[in-house]
Structure 1
Amino acid sequence: MTRSTLTKFFGLSLFAFLAFAAPTAAQQTISGQVVDAANNQPIAGAQVSVVGSSEGTLSDARGNFSVNVPSGRYSIAIQFIGFETQRIDGVQAGANISISLTSTAIALAPVSVTVNRNRGQRSLAAPAMVNVVDPEMIEKIAAPTPIEYVKGMPGVDVVQTGLTQSNTVARGFNNVFSGALLVLTDNRYARVPSLNLNAYNILATTPLDVQSVEVLLGPAAALYGPNSASGVMHIITKSPFDEQGTTLSMAGGGRRILQGVARQAWANDDQTVGFKVSGQYFRGDDFTYSDPAEQAAAAANPGTVIGQRNTEAERYTVEARMDFRPWDNPDDDIIFTYGLSELINSVEMTGIGAAQAQNWKYQFVQARLRKGSLFAQVFWNGSDAGNTYMLRTGNPIVDESSLFAAQLQYDLTLGDRIDAVVGYDYSKTNPVTGRTITGRNEDIDQTTEMGAYLQTTTRLSDRLDFVAALRADDHEHLEDPVFSPRAAFVFTPADGHTLRATYNRAFSTPGTNGLFLDIVAGRIPILPTVGYNIRASGVGTTGFTFNNTCTGGVNNYCMYSPFAPGTQLPATGTVLWDNVLVPLVLADPTLLATLPLLGLTPQSFAAIIGNPGASDLTSYLLRFNTGDLAFDPEPGTSSVARLQPGITNTYELGYNGLIGGKLRFSASGYVTRINNFTGPLRVETPSVFLDGSSVAAFLVGRMTAVGIPLSYASQIAQGIAT
Structure 2
Amino acid sequence: MKTIFQFLLLFFCAISFSQTTITGAVVDDNNQPIPGANIIVVGTSSGTVTDFDGNFILNYNQIVPFKVQASSVGFESMTIEVTENNQILNFILNEGTSLDEIVISASRTPESIRESPVTIERFDIKDIQYASSPDFYSSLENLKGVDVNKGSLTFNAVNTRGFATFSNTRFVQLVDGMDNSLPGLNFALGNILGLSELDISSVEILPGASSALYGANAFNGILFMTSKDPFTHQGVSAYVKTGLTVQDEAGDNQFHDFGFRAAHAFSDKFAAKASFSYLRGTDWFASDNNQYTLGAVGTADIISSFRSDPAHDGLNIYGDEVALAANETGQPQNLNEVAQFLEANGILPTGASGLVPAVNVARTGYKESDLTDYKAESIKAYFTLNYRPFGNNTEIIWSSKIGKGSSIYQGSNRYAIKDFALQQHKLEFRGDNFFLRGYTTIENAGNSYDMRFTGINMNKVGASEWFGAYAAAYAQGAGQIAGSGGNINDLAIQTQIHNGARTFADNLYTPQPGTPEFIALFNKVTNDPDITTGSKLVDESKMDIAEGNYNFRDLLNNVIDLQIGGQYRQYSLNSSGSVFTDYDGSIDYNEYGAYLQGIKKLMDDRLKITASIRYDKNEFFDGSYSPRLSLVYAAGENKQHNFRASLQTGFRNPDTQALFIGFDVGRAILVGSAPDNLDRKLPNTTLTGRDAYFNAYTLSSVQGFAASGGTTSLVPVNGNGITSLAKQEKVTAFDVGYRGKIEFITVDLNAYFNTYDNFSAQKFIVTPKSGSVNDASGVIDVATGNFQVFNVYTNSSADISSYGGVIGLSTKIAREFNLGFNYTYSELDFDQSTDPDFSAGFNTPKHKVKVSLGNPELFKNFGFNVNARWSDKYFWQATIANAIISARTVVDAQINYSVPSMKSTFKIGGTNLGGKEYQSAVGSPFIGSQYFVSWIINN
The reply to whether residue 664 of structure 1 matches residue 746 of structure 2 is yes
1:294-328 alpha-carbon deviations (Å, 9 max, x no partner):
63516848999996122121221111112122223
- Contact between 1:359 and 1:386, CA under 8 Å: does it hold in 2? yes
Q: Are 1:505 and 2:584 an aligned pair?
A: no
Please, what TM-score do these two structures have when normalized by structure 1?
0.67
**Shift in Å at residue 149 of structure 1?**
3.5
Aligned 8 A contact 1:432 1:442 in 2:
no
SS of corresponding position for 1:522: coil
- What residue number does 1:386 align with? 446
In structure 2, the CA distance between the partners of 1:653 and 1:98, relative to structure 1 (3 Å rule), is closer
Separation of aligned partners in 1, 2:761 and 2:671: 13
Aligned to 1:587: none
Whether the aligned pair in 2 keeps the contact of 1:194 and 1:511 (CA below 8 Å) is no
| CA positional deviation for 1:163 | 1.1
Offset at residue 194 of structure 1 (A) = 1.8
CA distance in 1: counterparts of 2:765 and 2:583, whole angstroms = 19
- The gaps in structure 2 that reach 5 residues or longer are 1-22, 35-50, 56-70, 78-87, 246-253, 290-313, 323-362, 455-534, 693-698, 705-709, 770-777, 786-939
1:112 equivalenced with 2:112 (yes/no): no
Distance in 2 (alpha carbons) for counterparts of 1:521 and 1:246: 47
1:483 maps to which residue? 625
2:660 counterpart residue number:
516
Map Cα deviations across residues 30-89 of structure 1 (whole Å, 9 max, x no partner).
Answer: xxx97668xxxxx8862579xxxxxxxxxxxxxxxxxxxxxxxx97589x9997599xxx
How far does the alpha carbon of each residue in 1:510-564 deviate from its partner, in whole angstroms, 9 at most, with x for none? 11100111011116xxxxxxxxxx321112238979xxxxxxxxxxxxxx998x9
- What is the CA distance between 1:634 and its match in structure 2? 7.6
Distance, in Å, in 2 between the alignment partners of 1:47 and 1:566 is 74
- Is 1:46 equivalent to 2:31 in the alignment? yes
Q: Tell me, yes or no, if structure 1 residue 318 matches structure 2 residue 381.
A: yes
Aligned to 2:117: 127
Q: Aligned equivalents of 1:486 and 1:274: distance in 2?
A: 39
Q: More deviation in 535-544 or 417-426?
A: 535-544
Confirm or deny that 1:361 pairs with 2:442. Answer: no
The residue identity in structure 1 corresponding to 2:96 is: A
- Quick check: 1:637–1:685 contact (8 Å CA) kept in 2? no
1:514 match: secondary structure: helix
| 1:341 has 2:403 as partner | yes
Match of 1:266 among 264, 267, 278: 264
| Counterpart residue number, 1:297 | 319
> Relative contact order (C-alpha < 8 Å, sep 6+): which is higher?
2
**Code of the aligned partner of 1:289:** A
Q: CA offsets per residue over residues 174-205 of structure 1, 9 Å max, x none? A: 12311211110011101111201121142242
The residue type paired with residue 671 of structure 2 is S
Structure 2 Cα separation of the partners of residues 162 and 632 of structure 1: 46
Question: Which residue identity is paired with 2:617?
Answer: D
Q: 2: CA distance between counterparts of 1:439 and 1:642?
A: 17
Alignment of 1:447-458 (within 5 A): 447-458=589-600
Is 2:727 aligned against 1:644? yes
Aligned-partner residue type, residue 325 of structure 1: R
CA RMSD of aligned residues (A): 4.1
Letter in 2 for 1:297: G
| 1:434 CA displacement | 0.8
Give the structure 2 partner of residue 604 of structure 1.
none
d(CA) in 1 for partners of 2:432, 2:279: 40
3-state DSSP of counterpart to 1:239 = coil
Structure 2: how far apart are the matches of 1:322 and 1:82?
Answer: 29
2:409 partner amino acid: E
Q: What is the SS of the residue equivalent to 1:202?
A: coil
How many angstroms apart in 2 are the aligned matches of 1:468 and 1:567? 46
2:398, 2:446 → 1: CA distance?
27
CA-CA distance at 1:399 after TM superposition: 0.9
Distance 1:694 1:253 in 2: 56
Contact 1:634-1:686 at 8 Å conserved across structures: no
2:663 and 2:683 in contact (8 A); partners too: no
Q: Is the 8 A contact 2:400 2:424 kept in 1?
A: yes
Per the TM alignment, residue 505 of structure 1 is displaced from its structure 2 partner at its CA by 0.4
Q: Do the aligned residues in 1 keep the contact of 2:607 with 2:633 (CA within 8 Å)?
A: yes
1:512 alignment partner AA:
T
Residue 654, structure 1, aligned to residue 788, structure 2: no
> 2: CA distance between counterparts of 1:275 and 1:120?
25
What is the distance in 2 between the residues matched to 1:320 and 1:684?
50
2:317 alignment partner AA = Q
The residue number in structure 2 matching 1:280 is 277
TM-score (norm 2): 0.52
Shift of 1:332: 2.4
Offset at 1:110? 1.2
CA contact (8 A) 1:204 1:318 kept: no
Q: Does the 8 Å CA contact 1:241/1:267 hold for their aligned counterparts?
A: yes
Cα shift at 1:274: 1.3
Cα–Cα, structure 1 residues 44 and 204, in superposed 2: closer, same or farther, change >3 Å?
A: closer
Q: Which amino acid aligns with 1:378?
A: G
Three-state SS of the structure 1 residue aligned to 2:285 is coil
Identity %: 23
User: Rg: which structure is higher?
Assistant: 1
Is the 1:138–1:212 Cα contact (8 Å) retained in structure 2? no
Q: Secondary structure at the match of 1:277?
A: strand
Which stretch of structure 1 is more off in the superposition, 150-159 or 104-113?
104-113
Kept in 1: contact 2:73–2:101 (CA 8 A): no
Structure 1 residues 71-86: aligned runs within 5 Å: none
What residue in structure 2 maps to residue 375 of structure 1? 435
Please tell me whether the aligned partners of residues 466 and 490 of structure 1 are also in contact (alpha carbons under 8 angstroms).
yes
Instruction: Give the match for residue 566 of structure 2.
Output: 424
Query: Quick check: 293-302 or 236-245, which moved more?
Result: 293-302
Q: Do residues 412 (structure 1) and 434 (structure 2) align?
A: no
1:440 deviation in Å?
Answer: 5.3
Indicate conservation of the 8 Å contact 1:561/1:567, yes or no: no
CA distance in 2, matches of 1:402, 1:82: 39
Say whether the 8 Å CA contact 2:546–2:568 is kept in structure 1.
Answer: yes
Partner amino acid, structure 1, of 2:444? D
Distance 2:445 2:567 in 1: 28
SS class of match (1:138) = helix
Query: Residues 250 and 450 (structure 1 numbering): CA distance in 2 closer, same or farther, change over 3 Å?
Result: same
Kept in 1: contact 2:574–2:582 (CA 8 A):
no
- Partner Cα separation in structure 2 for residue 690 and residue 166 of structure 1: 46
Letter in structure 2 aligned against 1:390: D
Q: Aligned partners of 2:76 and 2:602: how far apart in 1?
A: 38
| Cα shift readout 1:315-358 (whole Å, capped 9, x = no counterpart) | 21111112122223x24222111111111x322111x2111111
Distance between the aligned counterparts of 1:421 and 1:443, measured in 2? Answer: 40
Deviation at 1:226, TM superposition (A): 0.7
- For the residue of structure 1 that corresponds to 2:752, the secondary structure is strand
Deviations 1:489-518 (A, max 9, x none): 211113232111210101111111001110
Query: Aligned to 2:213, what secondary structure does the other structure show?
Result: helix
C-alpha distance in 1, partners of 2:762/2:89?
Answer: 57
- Contact kept, 8 Å, 1:146 with 1:200, in 2: the verdict is no
Distance 1:658 1:308, change over 3 A: same
Q: Secondary structure at the match of 1:105?
A: coil
**Aligned match of 1:594:** none
Equivalent position of 1:552 in the other structure: none
- The 3 A distance-change label for structure 1 pair 155 and 520 is same
Kindly provide the amino acid, as one letter, of the partner of residue 361 in structure 1.
A
Q: Deviations over 1:124-180 (max 9, x none)?
A: 101111111121111233866552231121121111112122222111211231121
User: Measured at CA, do residues 658 and 337 of structure 1 come closer, stay the same or move farther in structure 2, by a change above 3 Å?
Assistant: farther
Distance (whole Å) between structure 2 residues aligned to residue 437 and residue 144 of structure 1? 34
Q: Is 1:445 the equivalent of 2:508?
A: no
